[in-house]
Structures are given as structure tokens and as C-alpha cells.
Chain A
Amino acid sequence: GQQLNQSPQSMFIQEGEDVSMNCTSSSIFNTWLWYKQDPGEGPVLLIALYKAGELTSNGRLTAQFGITRKDSFLNISASIPSDVGIYFCAGQLRTGTASKLTFGTGTRLQVTL
């Protein structure tokens, strides 16, 4: 199935640094979602974006829904060790009563002290 292009694939950063990752698609979406997945767990929703151009924050996390509706980015400020994990973007498309979520390829984040 289709997957969104997410970059970077992985990153090593030092504690306290800011992180940025993005997601691009050839298709438009109604909603952009960002999830974090820890080992052995299901993805946990971090931020949901519902309108083109929307900029939303959740604590140290900030995400934006691209104007073209084909992209989104996620920023994490002042990273801490518990930010380690895999981050997934997901685009949601609703057609009538049907709804489908397409996931990005993931960004593995590792934070060093």
C-alpha cells in the first residue's frame, strides 16, 4: 500500500537539542496526525492537525499542516531522553463514510546525554 515519505529515517541528537522531521505525500489529506511508538507498544497520538496551514503545539512539540495539504512537519524542542522512540506521521482521507489512515515510514529518534 501507499506510504508517506518521512525524513529523516533516523537521527541521533544530544539532550537539549531541537529536532525537526517532516512528511510529504503526492496526495492530499483531510487530517495529519503525528504518533510516537515505544518498543512493544502501540502508537500514541501526539498531535492532530485538521486544517491546511494549521500550526499546533503540545508542550515541547509543534506541528504544522502544510498549505498544499500534502505535507506536515513536527518539531521537538529541548529534547530529553524520554523522547527516544519512533515517530510516525499519518495522513487521513475521508471519502463519504469511509476513512483511511496512511502512515509514513517513520523517524527513529535517539537522544544521547
Chain B
Amino acid sequence: SAVISQKPSRDICQRGTSLTIQCQVDSQVTMMFWYRQQPGQSLTLIATANQGSEATYESGFVIDKFPISRPNLTFSTLTVSNMSPEDSSIYLCSVEYSTDTQYFGPGTRLTVL
């Protein structure tokens, strides 16, 4: 399995600001994903981070609000833009290997005041 790290692990932000979350993997992977987990809820896929092209967003998530970068096969960022208290969640990245199995990072706990 992969070693996946995320930065920051947690943050408290003011309404209207933006936060960029980083995800680093210790080996090259083709597929990287970003999820949101709202308080007390399950995980919801935000988008698939594609290397060298635009991310593929799920219904209900848009690039202007959640811009994603994937500059290489070991790194991706998710930005939460123009934040509101409703954006308070845990944001998780995951990676998938050829075994169709996803492994998750430790998550970034975001609180928006």
C-alpha cells in the first residue's frame, strides 16, 4: 500500500478566504481522488485528479469552487475557494493502483468561521 501524506492536517479559516490542501504519495500512481466528509457523514467524491489534464468533477462540485492541480504522478492539490461555514469538513485524498483498490490519506480537517 501507499504512504500518503496531507498538509495541513487541520486548519481554521475565515469566511471568504481560500485554502489549498496538498497530497503527496511516496510512489507514482495513475489515479488520485479528492473526497469530502462532512461532520458525522460518509465520504463523497469531489473529483478525480488527472495528471496533465483538467480534473473530472462529480455532480454538485465545480472547478471554480474546488480547483485541483495534478502536476505529476505523486502530487496533487485541492483548493477550497471563497469558503463559508458549510465548507467545514474533512477533505481526503486517495490513490488507486491497478488492483482497483483505493488507499486514503489522513485527511485535512477544515473549520470555517
Contact = CB atoms under 8 A, between A and B. Distances in A.
Contact of A48 (B4, B59, B99): B99
B100 A1 contact: no
Interface stretch (A11-19, A38-46, A61-69, A77-85): A38-46
B89 interface: no
A31 B101 CA distance: 8
Contact of B59 (A1, A41, A94): A1
B104 to A, nearest CB: 4
B67 interface: no
B42 A44 contact: no
Interface residues of B, number: 26
B45 A1 contact: yes
B5 to A, nearest CB: 11
Interface in A73-113: 88, 90, 92, 94, 98-106
Main secondary structure of the interface of B (DSSP, over half): strand
Interface residues of A, number: 27
B56 A98 contact: yes
A103 B43 contact: yes
A101 B105 contact: no
A30 B45 contact: no
A3 interface: yes
B42 A101 contact: no
Contacts of A98: 48, 56
Nearest to A44: B104
Interface string B95-113: 0100111111111010000
19 contacts: A1-B45, A42-B105, A43-B92, A44-B104, A45-B102, A48-B100, A48-B101, A50-B100, A92-B101, A92-B102, A98-B48, A99-B96, A100-B45, A101-B94, A101-B102, A103-B44, A104-B42, A105-B42, A106-B42
